[in-house]
Structure 1
């Protein structure tokens, strides 16, 4: 059976042939000007929402200045939320109260913060159940985010983070291996090649993957921006 196309809304089929509506390829179900999402990244929810963009990033509005950028082959579990910069309050004054929201005078409003940073998720990132990703977080390729973690700041590639606030609890691979994996950028290969080398990708056969990369040619993928 052919691998589902990245614009397939419901890529998982149940035994009775019906689509499993609790898991979606995000590229196919999100039409939002401030989202950027890569091929094959999926999200799951025990109760499928009517609007996946609002469900996952409730403070990212069409008029928001920031973006939410998610790479390829990411895995987003039930209950994950991205708290993007438009959720912020101003914190440098005597009060954090957003007066402008209530008197509805937004231009040059002194109670509102300036534009915040984008939130950027790399490729092949697994975000566990109920995690919260805070404004401006930058999560590197291959990171695993533990269930319930609250993640801020920058997480280097191939780290495992957990807790509130999230801290690095382990590294998935030595630094040289992580660097070689990013150079491989298997997530940028044609999906047929990814499937062909699934055993090597999931079985950590770096030598075989590097030989395959030499056959495919081309430069490695860049961090999403």
Structure 2
């Protein structure tokens, strides 16, 4: 029996809306593990369009592990979507340069760090992941949910804002599964 090739962009023959992302996404600030796929109703290219406010000059990364399943409409809001809240204005004057380049001198734009999706995570239709959120291994993310906090491994989470629905297994079984890892 042959193991599927992780370099195949369209792993399902005659179905071009599901693509393996590892060799498809070109942005160096997005890292994708093997066998992770994205299934979009319109066009698989939407995955990069759905990574919002991801400006190179910020340097944050979207890191997605192996064997993840990303449904159509999933959006990742990155740190470029955050604004100063302790300045006279929330307008990002300095990013436009020229006479404004020092407008926010000594101010630091807020950042939540990298957004990390661990391995074997299912991200349901139209879920939104906010900056700096970490979703643990083998979690299930319900459709239409909004995530502002980290998600523990083996947890089913959903809602606006997202809340724990339940653990997938008992703590003992989860520990045993982690020991197999």
TM-score by length of 1: 0.72
Q: 5+ unaligned residues in a row in structure 1: which ranges?
A: 15-19, 186-225
For 2:120 and 2:146, how far apart are their aligned partners in 1? 19
> Is the counterpart of residue 138 in structure 1 residue 134 in structure 2?
yes
More strand by share: 2
Q: Aligned pairs, how many?
A: 179
Match of 1:46 among 41, 61, 64: 41
Greater C-alpha Rg: 1
Deviating runs (4+, > 4 A) in structure 1? 101-109
In the alignment, what sits opposite 1:122? 118
* Per-residue deviation, 1:134: 0.3
Deviates more, 1:44-53 or 1:173-182: 44-53
Match of 1:65 among 59, 62, 68: 59
**Higher helix fraction: Structure 1 or Structure 2?**
1
Q: 1:83 to 1:47 in 2, by over 3 A?
A: same
Q: 1:91 to 1:9 in 2, by over 3 A?
A: same
User: How far did residue 97 of structure 1 move?
Assistant: 2.3
Structure-2 change in CA distance of 1:175 and 1:7 (3 Å)? same
- Asked whether the 8 Å contact 1:75–1:124 carries over to 2, the reply is yes
Do the aligned partners of 1:9 and 1:24 also contact (CA within 8 Å) in 2? yes
List runs of 5+ in structure 2 lacking aligned partners: none
Could you tell me whether the CA contact under 8 Å between 1:82 and 1:132 is conserved in 2? Answer: yes
Q: CA deviation at 1:116?
A: 3.8
The residue that corresponds to 1:211 in the other structure is none
Quote how far apart the aligned CAs of 1:99 are.
Answer: 2.6
- Please tell me whether the aligned partners of residues 19 and 44 of structure 2 are also in contact (alpha carbons under 8 angstroms): no
Q: Distance in 2 between matches of 1:148 and 1:51?
A: 17
1:22 to 1:155, Cα distance in 2 relative to 1, 3 A: same
C-alpha deviation, 1:155, in angstroms = 1.0
**What's the Cα RMSD here?**
2.2
1:165 to 146, 151, 161: 161
SS in structure 1 of the partner of residue 22 of structure 2:
helix
Q: CA deviation at 1:109?
A: 4.9
